[in-house]
């Protein structure tokens, strides 16, 4: 059992927190912290952004003594090779350091002091070993021994660890993982090279899958094995197949897995993708002995209990219970199924007056289920179906949101998060199933991210952030939640006067209430040059490095929300963004003659459409955003049919194919209305962007140049989608051009630029 935190332990935690902070500060360097305790300038630089650290809490050990902590520095992620997008054997670098934190004393032990790209991490049943799957150039399995504090590379008998492998220990000390077939890497490289290098590449329309889909699907092809660490023996549990996920019972005898069953490229996407759920006992070596639990998982959500046998599933608004040994379902709550009639939609057409439920969580013990509905979040007892509301919702538009955050390993405690939709009012709520007591641990305006309960529910580890700052790691007792900060993510910022955030409510052009997040320079100000960073909806004041950079240079930065109507996405930004500008001018924050707008990806697309409809903005920046929906519609082959599906149904919300409504695709292509643009426009692309190809965005450059409009196009030849993470020079160049563009058009001519940055600015 974990040791409860005493006052002496709290003192130890405070001391340990200081040591962790100092350790982080030591890696920052004197140039970041300032000399002799001096307070550095509030103005941030691109170098500051590369030095930003993100801390995250992983899993507790089963005995509750240890907590896995990852610390990632943004600059360690440089070196991304965007040209390898779509290659299943390549993982984008996201290095982090790995620590073990003693939850009783706060002491930390470094497991990986050198940053590495880490995948899954898993504790053994007795907490004596920690398995770590890396996603380096050659994926590697590492095992940390807690008693000896030694890390070793675990041999796999020449097999290649799957880049996306999960890890699961069995009670008898075996480690379940996924490996690749012997010829897998050769096939992946040959197919990838053929598609990107040729010299001749042939694709045939009658083939069932797009060529890039064939390559992508190879990423799911794997073999699940049981590893005996001492001998490096591998026993095959699931032969090579299209495995999208898998789980095992604690004894490793019962296996279940999801298998991709698509027979061809699916142009519908999303829920229409086909997969099935299978199960079999480990003693059955014959692959054909597997039993089909669900022949189709279309429209079905499944969650399993920790025993690997019982499961809950949601379908057509109802929640059911079953087990892999008895697959006859029992309906727990929700509408009874109705017989389908010819031409009818069946259960999905049921009237809205019946309460429908979605599955939010299944107790590790299998004793309780958490479900959500339009009336709130509810706890259902499996034994008798008793329903208890944890968080009630009476207003589905402006009422608070409740979500299951975590469930203790023993199944006796669950943690629920609450967030208001009208104010920055957030809470963590504990439900003690043993005593039936529901209590609020904390409620204030801070952000509480990824809270985790210890196995016995006695402690809560949580990331806490506020005012747009990067979050820190805190730990507290659940019974008396007075959390202590254990890891300060960015101590180098502690003495700096940083920007502040504010939630702003306003009415859009249709009279609908909208919210936006306003970031103000340190010290505030009035009639400021104001930049609008656009995408879709914004509410939380989470950390945004580019926003902080702009605000530290004297800009007010607003992230406004918009409401979309299918078939007319272009109007949304005009109605929402301009209304938010009116609000800031009314508040005295914004200077109406110094408004700028930018966005990345869909936000870049929004920016370009917006300035074809209004001349209010004096500077605009489209970052990796499409300008021609027609040419974009069937482009970006490395994403499969994503861009087709996005245009028709999801993000772009056109509501029809290009052949059904060609005029809608023309109406929502900003390049078709380039002659209306008066706002100086900066276009920023990545030459290896396979999400929004640079050749799409560049259409706007040549159109505006032909029309004699103010436009510049910056292309990072090796860059990918968004901010280039190729190297530090290009990262700095990107940010300095952003600043330079706004300084040129939104600030007086007397505005100066630091000498160290002048060489990067485009004039």
Average pLDDT over residues 442-461: 95
Which helix (H) or strand (E) segment is 707 a member of? Answer: none
Which residues, listed in sequence order, are joined to residue 143 by a DSSP beta bridge?
Answer: 131, 152
363-367, 651-655, 682-686: range with lowest mean pLDDT: 651-655
34-47 average pLDDT score: 61
Indicate the pLDDT class of residue 635, thresholds 50, 70 and 90.
confident
Tens-place pLDDT, residues 531-575: 999 999 999 999 999 999 999 999 999 999 999 887 788 889 999
Going by pLDDT thresholds of 50, 70 and 90, the confidence category of residue 763 is: very low
- Residue 215, pLDDT above cutoff 60: yes
pLDDT tens for 305-357 read 999 899 999 999 999 999 988 889 999 999 998 764 444 444 444 445 679 99
pLDDT mean over 694-712: 97
HSE of 78, CA atoms in CB hemisphere, 13 A:
14
Q: Where are the domains of the chain?
A: 1-28+47-154, 156-295, 395-486, 497-748
pLDDT of residue 283: 59
DSSP annotation of 674 = G
What local confidence, expressed as pLDDT, does residue 342 receive? 47
pLDDT at 18: 42
**Cβ-based neighbours of 492, under 8 Å, separated by 6 or more:** 25, 28, 32, 33, 51
Q: Residue 282 pLDDT > 70, yes or no? A: no
**Which residue has tokens 């056109």?**
654
Lowest-confidence region among 55-69, 206-220, 635-649, 684-698: 635-649
**Mean pLDDT, rounded, for 462-473:** 94
Q: Is the pLDDT of residue 756 over 50?
A: no
The sign one gets for the Cα dihedral 491, 495, 496, 501 is positive
Q: How far apart are CA 361 and CA 378, in angstroms?
A: 10
Query: Is residue 378 predicted with pLDDT exceeding 70?
Result: yes
Model pLDDT, residue 268: 77
Confidence (pLDDT) at 267: 83
* 545-552 and 728-746 helices, crossing angle to 10°: 50
Looking at residue 22, its pLDDT comes to 35
Q: Which residue has the higher pLDDT, 298 or 4?
A: 298
Interior angle at CA 656, CA 655 and CA 659, nearest 5? 160
Rounded Cα distance, 550 and 538, in Å: 18
pLDDT (0 to 100) of residue 434: 87
**Peptide bond preceding 199 in cis form (omega within 30 of 0):** yes
Instruction: Report the distance separating Cα 113 and Cα 136, nearest Å.
Output: 15
Q: Which residue has the higher pLDDT, 679 or 24?
A: 679
Tell me the per-residue pLDDT of 382-394, one tens digit each, with 9 for 90 and over.
Answer: 999 999 999 999 8
- For range 71-77, the mean pLDDT: 96
Distance CA 78, CA 76 (A): 6
102, pLDDT greater than 80: yes
For 591, other C-beta atoms within 10 Å of its C-beta total 17
> Which pLDDT band, with edges at 50, 70 and 90, does 30 fall under?
very low
Indicate if the pLDDT at residue 418 is higher than 60: yes
For strands 368-373 and 129-134, give the pairing: unpaired
Integer CA distances (angstroms), 110 to 23, 79, 146, in order:
11, 24, 11
SS3 638: helix
Angle between helices 602-611 and 569-587 in degrees, nearest 10: 80
Residue 612 DSSP label: T
What pLDDT is stored for residue 535 in this prediction? 95
Contacts of 462 (CB under 8 A, 6+ apart): 57, 428, 448, 449, 450, 451, 452, 473, 474, 475, 476, 483
Is 90 exceeded by the pLDDT of residue 644?
no
Handedness of CA 559, 560, 566, 571 (dihedral sign): negative
Which of 15-29, 465-479, 622-636 has the weakest average pLDDT? 15-29
Q: What is the CA radius of gyration of the chain?
A: 27
Separation of alpha carbons 379 and 404, rounded Å = 10
Q: Got the DSSP string for 453-515?
A: E-TTS-EEEEEEE-TTPPPEEEEEESTT---EEEE-S-GGGTTS---EEEEEEEE-TTS-EEE
Which pLDDT belongs to residue 286?
54
pLDDT at 665 over 50: yes
Confidence of residue 34 (pLDDT cuts 50, 70, 90): very low
State the average pLDDT for the chain: 88
pLDDT of residue 595: 98
Task: Check pLDDT > 60 for residue 757.
Answer: no
Give the other-Cβ count within 10 Å of 49's Cβ.
18
- Structure confidence by residue, pLDDT tens digits, 139-186: 999 999 999 999 999 999 999 999 999 999 999 999 999 999 999 999
Q: How confident is the model at residue 641 (pLDDT cuts 50, 70, 90)?
A: confident
Mean per-residue pLDDT, 634-640: 82
- In this structure, what are the phi and psi dihedrals at residue 704, rounded to the nearest 5 degrees? -70, -35
pLDDT in the model for residue 288: 55
The confidence score (pLDDT) of residue 82 equals 95
Helices (H), 675-727: 694-706
| Superfamily covering domain 497-748 | Alpha/Beta hydrolase fold, catalytic domain (3.40.50.1820)
Q: Using a CB cutoff of 8 Å and minimum separation of 24, what contacts does 374-380 make?
A: 376/402, 377/402, 377/403, 377/404, 377/416, 379/414, 379/431, 379/433, 380/319, 380/332, 380/333
What pLDDT shows up at residue 565? 84
243-281 per-position pLDDT tens digit: 999 999 999 889 999 999 999 988 876 666 899 999 988
Measure the CA–CA gap between 71 and 53, rounded to whole angstroms.
7
pLDDT in tens, 510-543: 999 999 999 999 989 999 999 999 999 999 999 9
241 pairs with which residues across the strands? 222
Place of tokens 């309780």: 368
Q: What is the pLDDT of residue 597?
A: 98
- The side-by-side arrangement of strands in the sheet containing 254-260 is 168-169, 175-179, 221-228, 233-248, 254-260, 275-281, 291-294
Number of other residues whose CB lies within 10 A of the CB of residue 193:
12
Chain centre to alpha carbon of residue 593: 36
Q: Which two tokens stand for residue 634?
A: 């069937």
Task: Give the pLDDT confidence score for residue 37 in this predicted structure.
Answer: 36
Provide, rounded to the nearest whole percent, the portion of the chain with pLDDT above 70: 89
Is residue 243 within 8 A of residue 257, CB to CB? The reply is yes
Band (pLDDT 50/70/90 cuts) for residue 649 is confident
């Amino acid at each position: 059992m974990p040791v409860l935190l005493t006052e002496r332990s709290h003192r130890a935690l405070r001391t340990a927190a200081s040591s962790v902070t100092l350790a982080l500060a030591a890696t920052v360097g004197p140039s970041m912290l300032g000399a002799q305790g001096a307070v550095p300038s509030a103005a941030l630089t691109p170098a500051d952004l590369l030095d930003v650290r993100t801390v995250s809490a992983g899993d507790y050990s089963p005995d509750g003594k240890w907590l896995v902590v990852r610390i990632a520095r943004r600059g360690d992620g440089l070196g991304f090779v965007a040209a390898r997008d779509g290659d299943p054997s390549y993982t984008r670098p996201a290095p982090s350091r790995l620590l073990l934190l003693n939850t009783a004393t706060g002491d930390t032990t470094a497991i990986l002091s050198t940053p590495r790209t880490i995948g899954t991490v898993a504790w053994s049943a007795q907490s004596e070993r920690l398995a770590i799957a890396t996603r380096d150039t050659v994926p590697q399995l590492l095992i940390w021994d807690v008693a000896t504090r030694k890390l070793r590379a675990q041999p796999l008998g020449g097999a290649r660890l799957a880049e996306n492998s999960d890890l699961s220990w069995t009670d008898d000390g075996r480690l379940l993982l996924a490996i690749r077939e012997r010829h897998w890497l050769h096939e992946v490289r040959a197919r990838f090279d053929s598609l990107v290098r040729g010299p001749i590449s042939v694709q045939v329309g009658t083939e069932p899958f797009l060529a890039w889909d064939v390559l992508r699907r190879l990423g799911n092809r794997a073999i699940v094995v049981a590893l005996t660490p001492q001998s490096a023996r591998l026993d095959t549990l699931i032969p090579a197949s299209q495995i999208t996920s898998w789980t095992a019972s604690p004894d490793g005898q019962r296996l279940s897995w999801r298998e991709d069953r698509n027979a061809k490229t699916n142009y519908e996407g999303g829920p229409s993708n086909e997969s099935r759920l299978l199960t079999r006992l480990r003693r059955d070596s014959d692959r054909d002995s597997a039993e089909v639990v669900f022949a189709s998982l279309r429209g079905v959500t499944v969650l399993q209990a920790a025993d690997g046998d019982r499961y809950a599933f949601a379908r057509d608004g109802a929640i059911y219970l079953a087990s892999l040994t008895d697959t006859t379902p029992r309906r727990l709550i929700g509408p009874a199924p109705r017989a389908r009639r010819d031409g009818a939609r069946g259960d999905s057409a049921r009237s809205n007056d019946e309460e429908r439920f979605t599955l939010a969580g299944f107790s590790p013990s299998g004793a309780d289920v958490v479900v959500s509905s339009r009336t709130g979040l509810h706890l259902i007892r499996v034994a008798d179906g008793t329903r208890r509301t944890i968080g009630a919702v009476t207003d589905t538009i402006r009422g608070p949101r409740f979500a299951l955050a975590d469930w203790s390993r023993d199944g006796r405690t669950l943690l629920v998060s609450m967030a208001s939709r009208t104010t920055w009012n957030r809470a963590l709520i504990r439900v003690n199933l043993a005593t039936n007591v529901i209590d609020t641990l904390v409620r204030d305006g801070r952000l509480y991210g990824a809270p985790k309960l210890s196995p016995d529910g006695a402690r809560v580890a949580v990331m806490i952030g506020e005012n747009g700052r990067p979050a820190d790691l805190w730990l507290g007792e659940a019974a008396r939640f007075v959390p202590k900060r254990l890891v300060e993510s960015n101590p180098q910022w502690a003495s700096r006067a940083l920007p502040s955030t504010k939630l702003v409510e306003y009415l859009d052009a249709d009279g609908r209430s909208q919210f936006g997040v306003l970031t103000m320079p340190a010290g505030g100000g009035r009639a400021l040059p104001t930049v609008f960073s656009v995408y879709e909806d914004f509410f939380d004041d989470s950390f945004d490095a580019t926003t902080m950079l702009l605000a530290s240079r004297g800009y007010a930065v607003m992230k406004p929300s918009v409401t979309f109507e299918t078939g007319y996405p272009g109007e949304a930004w005009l109605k929402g963004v301009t209304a938010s500008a009116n609000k800031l001018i009314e508040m005295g924050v914004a200077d109406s003659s110094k408004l700028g707008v930018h966005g990345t990806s869909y936000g870049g697309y929004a920016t370009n459409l917006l300035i074809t409809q209004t001349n209010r903005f004096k500077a605009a920046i489209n970052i990796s955003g499409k300008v021609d929906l027609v040419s974009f519609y069937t482009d970006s082959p490395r994403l499969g049919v994503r861009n087709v599906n996005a245009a028709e149904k999801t993000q772009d919300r056109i509501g029809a194919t290009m052949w059904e409504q060609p005029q809608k695709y023309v109406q929502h292509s900003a390049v078709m209305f380039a002659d209306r643009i008066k706002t100086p426009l900066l276009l920023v692309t990545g030459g290896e962007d396979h999400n929004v190809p640079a050749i799409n965005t560049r259409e706007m450059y040549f159109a505006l140049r032909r029309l004699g409009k103010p436009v510049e196009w910056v292309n990072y030849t090796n860059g990918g989608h968004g901010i280039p993470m190729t190297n530090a020079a290009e990262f700095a160049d990107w940010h300095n051009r952003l600043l330079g563009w706004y300084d040129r058009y939104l600030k007086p001519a007397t505005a100066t630029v630091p000498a160290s940055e002048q060489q990067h600015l485009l004039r």
